[in-house]
Amino acid sequence: MPSPGMGHLIPLSELAKLLVLRHGFTATFIVFSDFSDHAQTAFLDSLPSGFSYVVLPPLPLDDVPPDAHVETRLSIMAERSVPHVRDVLRSLRRTTRLAAYVIDLFCGETLPVAKELGVPHYLFFTTSFMVLSLLLHLPALDQATSCEYRDLPEPVVLPGCVPLRGEDLLHPMQDRTDDAYRCVLNIARRIREVDGILVNSFVDLEPAVYAALKEAEPEVGRPNVHAIGPVIHRGSHGGAKGKECLRWLDEQPPGSVLFVSFGSGGTLSTEQIQELAWGLEASGRRFLWVVRCPSDRVASGAFFHLQGPDDPLRYLPEGFLERTRGAGLVVPLWVPQVEVLAHAATGGFLTHCGWNSLLESFVHGVPMIAWPLYAEQRTNAVMMADGLGVALRPKTAADCSGLVLREEVAEVARELMEREAGRKAREKAGKLKQAAAQAVAVAGRDGSSCKALAEVAQYWKDNEATGDV
Ligand code: UDP
């Protein structure tokens, strides 16, 4: 059961593919009816045989304030889905044997249903071990802290992790009086209830934090963790527009294009779109930019509904498209990101640091510019820039209104694409590419992630839940 959003659906479906194609299970997705965006429905319909999906009835959210954080909305949706999930699981159990119920992070409220029915319940954790560690420590951190985390005099140091300043902790941890913080705290308590956590990361990416979590497993309330990543999307889901941008990439010199994208739901303010545009133009670098309509209120403005009637291109500075024609390509809304990252012309990635985007970048060895927006993205950005050294992070990035100015955009783009700092990041990205490939290697030289998933699959087979409700 994935929570809404391509960033949640894609990795869970890729995990399901491994379980179906490699380990002989069948998979049924339980999805929210808000999966109404074309990209999401088309994606589900394209899954091969062995997969099915059940759409839950619409869950009204009229009473949720429009400016509620994504985390709050997702948690409320999960809470309201509980009776329906119970119906679905019961009905599935009439015709099949349920090996496991696998959720992602925001569906934790449905866990008691699986417990009630005696079905092993697992969390597919679609971000890093570092964020998992943060969540597992959150209840204790909450108890021990009386101020806002951003006012802490010292960074938070978690076992095996790079130190985190308060302002780089999860977005919903930034205001402890907000509902979103309570939701995250609740999620942090819930994840201790699962039978196991499958993490979309790999041991060589985060060896120290992985080791620390493994060591803590015998403690009460510390589920077993399994490093099974990188599980990324490898097929195409870009449609005609996608093909057009790949053709454009074909015409560009190797390693010359900076790919600019803010994930499935990220949006910028009107002013920020303009500054970014001026900055890209001033950098003189080639770029491929996925542009969304602005959202001046929240940075996750396209999370629930990607497509509006509005044309994103009309928010670009006047004459921008004409002036950058040839050197830059602007694509509204969506491109086949994995194919873009895999393309030889792509030499850098300006990313919002969503975990899937980062994994996809590692797999293809692309160095990055970290431009986090919301959720756990700032935490990821610290790991990319300070921990792994595969990303540059604009230092003086924001003026007092939080705007990243054009000079900074131009500077960091040049830095990544043609200077020493970029060369170093590229070298590190190349090493990570090898490590990522090794982790999922099959055929005789099974990688660590491959083996870990095989062990879990075997355990499920040995422990299949039987009987009717
Ligand atoms: N994505 C894509 N094309 C786009 C934007 C996003 O294919 O134009 C995919 C991307 O490859 C990734 C997912 O959507 O698999 C975004 O997930 P991520 O965790 O990076 O960010 P989120 O959308 O959850 O913020």
Spell out the residues 6+ positions from residue 416 whose beta carbon is closer than 8 angstroms to its own.
258, 348, 367, 368, 369, 392, 422, 425
- Position 303 scores a pLDDT of 57
Q: Which residue spans within 126-262 are E strands per DSSP?
A: 196-199, 224-227, 257-261
Average pLDDT, whole number, for the chain?
91
What is the full DSSP assignment across 322-343?
HHHBTTEEEEES---HHHHHHS
- Position 307 scores a pLDDT of 52
The CATH 3.40.50.2000 domain(s) of the chain lie at 6-233+443-462, 240-433
Q: Which CATH code is given to the segment(s) 240-433?
A: 3.40.50.2000
Residue nearest to atom 23 of ligand 1 (CA): 264
Ligand 1 midpoint to CA 218 (Å) = 35
- Position 468 scores a pLDDT of 42
Is 127 a pocket residue for ligand 1 (Cβ < 6 Å)? no
- Position 432 scores a pLDDT of 98
Q: Which residue spans within 326-465 are E strands per DSSP?
A: 328-332, 346-351, 368-370, 391-392
Spell out the residues 6+ positions from residue 307 whose beta carbon is closer than 8 angstroms to its own.
37, 38, 333
- Low-confidence stretches of the chain (pLDDT < 50) are 465-469
Is 354 a pocket residue for ligand 1 (Cβ < 6 Å)? yes
Choice from 3, 6, 126 to test ligand 1 binding pocket (greatest atom count within 8 A of CB) = 6
Domain 6-233+443-462 top-level CATH class: alpha beta
101: which strand partners? Answer: 121
- Give pLDDT tens digits for 122-177: 999 999 999 999 999 999 999 999 999 999 999 999 999 999 999 999 999 999 99
Ligand 1 midpoint to CA 444 (Å) = 32
- Position 295 scores a pLDDT of 86
Catalytic residues: 8, 104
Q: Are 85 and 54 in contact (CB under 8 A)?
A: no
Task: Look at the block and give the residue holding tokens 């692309």.
Answer: 366
Ligand 1 midpoint to CA 259 (Å) = 13
Task: Look at the block and give the residue holding tokens 């069948």.
Answer: 26
* Full-model pTM: 0.93
Choice from 104, 260, 356, 362 to test ligand 1 binding pocket (greatest atom count within 8 A of CB) = 356
Is 267 a pocket residue for ligand 1 (Cβ < 6 Å)? no
